[in-house]
Structure 1
Amino acid sequence: MTSPFVTTAWLADHLSDPGLVVVDASWHLPNTARNAQAEYLAGHIPGAVFFDIDGIADTATNLPHMLPAPADFARAVGALGIADDMTIVVYDEVGLFSAPRAWWTFRAFGASKVFMLEGGGPKWRSERRHIEAGLVRRNRAVFQPRFNTHAVVGFDTVRDHAQNSSRQIVDARPAPRFHGEAPEPRAGLRSGHIPNSTNVPVSLLTEQGRLKPVDQLQTLFADRGIDLTQPIITSCGSGITAVTLALALEQAGARDVAVYDGSWAEWGAHKDAEVES
């Protein structure tokens, strides 16, 4: 399969495959008053394990859900019963919100057969497919991490590119936050954007919980002045929707896309970071 997505029909037909694991990677913004883990326990796709985006992360930093060390990731997902050679199908209960972050994380650590469920949990439920409750426990597995250093960039790299415009920086936050017209939801962050960055709000990339068609994405990026043939760095508030943006760019034809993991949670608080509005 060349698409990053599988359909609900495909998943229903393969749920019992021994080499397949389903992963609920739901995560919600604090202002939604939703508890992803509680919702998982109340009902999820049969056999799905819960991937805690905030828990399977670098806990030594105060930045939210940063990538953990490869060995820590391998230990955490191995305990969930996920091996690097399995077919991994990730979904979330919004449709296409946090699943891309987990999908990207598995890919960044070397999983080669990782996909997202098209339409996610909402589509599965709308088709009245089976749901089960409770915690799923799988036998421990061995995940051999192979970290892709090209998938992610840090503060210093982004600052260098922002200063000399040597790589396109694209921000997925809503336009009012990008332009400094609305406050950041996290305390202590300045308002505005990374110098020489371009705004493509994630809300423009999806429709009814699915990624928009490739031709529409290509038109959108062209209208925003994004050159898909040149290297791109994506950013957002905390590294969640930056991945959805990276996914959309790749689907539109970009081949050199990296995610700024710290995103505005880091940049907006960093004393050495220049801010534009």
Structure 2
Amino acid sequence: MSTNPFLVSPDALVTEMRNGVVKIVDASWYLPPQNRDAKAEFLQAHIPGAVFFDQDSVVDATSPYPHTLPSQDHFAQAAGALGIAQTDTIVVYDGAGLFSAPRVWWLFRTFGAVNVRILDGGFPEWKKAGLATESGEASPEECEFTVHFQPQSVVDLPQMRDLVQERQTQIADARSAERFQGLAPEPRPGVRSGHMPGAHSLPYTSLQENGRLKEPEELREAFAAAGIDPNEPVVTSCGSGVTAAVITLALATLNNPQSRLYDGSWTEWGSQTDTPVETGPGE
């Protein structure tokens, strides 16, 4: 059984549910090629008592880029409407195992929730254990979520420009090696292929196995293979800020002293006309 303080096993979650001390969040989200409808799947089956967090709507609606950080008021309103307060014990999961849940785990923590964990293995592991599910819409009792924003957990475009130019902070890119190297086109139109100068390729898939986060020693090996020291500051990035949070979770597991997530990620960087872009294997 994992001793990771950021994960909870299905059995342990069942116990917490019986004690009535946990709020459960379905954070499923999928890329178009995955051909899955997260909300439709939630309506068909989800963990009893779970609410659905829509990662396409709890965003900055004025931004041209996907999954950009919502305003503090918007997040507080969305979380409160789901019946979640910043003081609650929160468990987040997704339908792929470990794909989109870390992003919502990071969001809640960034906006001030203090006890947020991820279901180890996600909904697939829950179903594999033969545990109960329910269907239909959730009907949470609204409450107040008081934001305590953590600006040190996020990087914006101007900051990212400085970091790339200074080359003093490690950058970990969670996209596939093919996209990182510029060998595969980006899925969004108008986005150049390649990576930020000085970035390291660390596909999020290298940090998990069968939808579960790897053990600490295996995580250290993955970081070392990517040329990243997990004991030093790291900025995480990906396509649109979702799977970057898998790296963020791995770094938290290894007690990284300073991990930040580049919210706009490659969609924002690769859409600019003046940001430097490199191809090939990188650092």
TM superposition score category, shorter chain reference: over 0.9
Alignment of 1:167-182 (within 5 A): 167-182=169-184
Q: Which residue of 1 aligns with 2:11?
A: 9
CA distance in 2, matches of 1:46, 1:223: 40
The answer to whether the 8 Å contact 1:215/1:252 transfers is no
Counterpart check, 1:202 vs 2:204: yes
Counterpart check, 1:139 vs 2:103: no
Counterpart check, 1:249 vs 2:259: no
CA distance in 2, matches of 1:229, 1:47: 38
SS of corresponding position for 2:130: coil
What's the CA shift for 1:33? 1.2
CA distance in 2, matches of 1:20, 1:221: 33
Counterpart check, 1:70 vs 2:72: yes
CA distance in 2, matches of 1:94, 1:223: 25
1:155 to 133, 136, 157: 157
Alignment of 1:60-99 (within 5 A): 60-99=62-101
CA distance in 2, matches of 1:188, 1:251: 35
Query: In structure 2, what residue type is equivalent to 1:70?
Result: Q
**Deviant stretches of 4+, over 4 Å:** none
The answer to whether the 8 Å contact 1:19/1:87 transfers is yes
The answer to whether the 8 Å contact 1:150/1:258 transfers is yes
The one-character-per-residue Cα deviations of 1:156-177 (angstroms, maximum 9, x if unpaired) are: 1111111120211111111111
Q: Which residue of 2 aligns with 1:43?
A: 45
CA distance in 2, matches of 1:176, 1:212: 23
TM-score (ref. length: structure 2): 0.95
Query: In structure 2, what residue type is equivalent to 1:27?
Result: W
Q: Which residue of 2 aligns with 1:191?
A: 193
What's the CA shift for 1:15? 1.4
2:54 to 47, 52, 55: 52
TM-score (ref. length: structure 1): 0.97
What's the CA shift for 1:2? 6.6
SS of corresponding position for 1:131: coil
Query: In structure 1, what residue type is equivalent to 2:186?
Result: E
The answer to whether the 8 Å contact 1:234/1:258 transfers is yes
CA distance in 2, matches of 1:138, 1:251: 31
The answer to whether the 8 Å contact 2:80/2:145 transfers is yes
Q: Which residue of 2 aligns with 1:103?
A: 105
The one-character-per-residue Cα deviations of 1:70-105 (angstroms, maximum 9, x if unpaired) are: 111001110111111111110001101000000000
Q: Which residue of 2 aligns with 1:115?
A: 117
The answer to whether the 8 Å contact 2:4/2:253 transfers is no
| Runs of 5+ unmatched residues, structure 2 | none
The one-character-per-residue Cα deviations of 1:187-221 (angstroms, maximum 9, x if unpaired) are: 11100000111111111111001011100111221
CA distance in 2, matches of 1:113, 1:276: 39
Q: Which residue of 1 aligns with 2:230?
A: 228
CA distance in 1, matches of 2:48, 2:157: 40
CA distance in 2, matches of 1:261, 1:233: 10
SS of corresponding position for 2:30: coil
CA distance in 1, matches of 2:232, 2:22: 35
Indicate the RMSD between aligned Cα atoms, in angstroms.
Answer: 1.2
